Amino acid sequence: MSENNITREQLDILKNKPLEKFSLRKKTYKMVKKLKNQYNIFLLSNVGPIDFIAINEWLNIRKIFKKCYLSYEHHLLKPSLEIYKDAEKYFDINPNETLFLDDKIENIIGAEKCGWNTIHVKSEGQLIERLQEKVLIKLPINLINQRN
């Protein structure tokens, strides 16, 4: 925490109210955990250090994703084209074989300009449908029937 100039008080405030800052989607969380058994799943995020430390303590993000690319560590922000190019090297991925998910259209456009396949996430239900269209996963019936 001291490395990122985060006080214990700041972390405690965020940890005690994580859903005010982060909208955890339970089905999406379950999907990521399922997909990581079949695919390399990475995190590319503009999250700041205080937020990431708190959310990581809450959800253990670093164990869910194969690698995390955090903008504050790399000093680049989405949707700059540089961040996608740098992330390609960091993750050792081929843009043509990469599927990028984001809820912000400007980040989708940036990734597409770098040749990444994308899904603009508008809702959890729509995400499930789009992933199934791309034949990435066969979701359990209970997730399919509980769409937003």
Residue 99 belongs to domain with CATH number: 3.40.50.1000
Which among 56, 54, 61, 70 is positioned nearest to 17, based on CA atoms?
54
For the chain, state the CA radius of gyration: 16
Instruction: Tell me if the pTM is above 0.75.
Output: yes
pLDDT one-digit tens code per residue, 54-82: 778 778 888 889 999 999 999 999 999 99
Round to whole Å and give the CA distance between 41 and 128. 16
Question: In this predicted model, which residue has the larger pLDDT, 141 or 56?
Answer: 56
- Whether 118 has a pLDDT exceeding 70, the answer reads yes
Q: Looking at the 3D structure of the chain, how many domains does it have?
A: 1
> Which residue range forms the structural domain that includes residue 129?
2-144
pLDDT one-digit tens code per residue, 77-106: 999 999 999 999 999 999 999 999 999 999
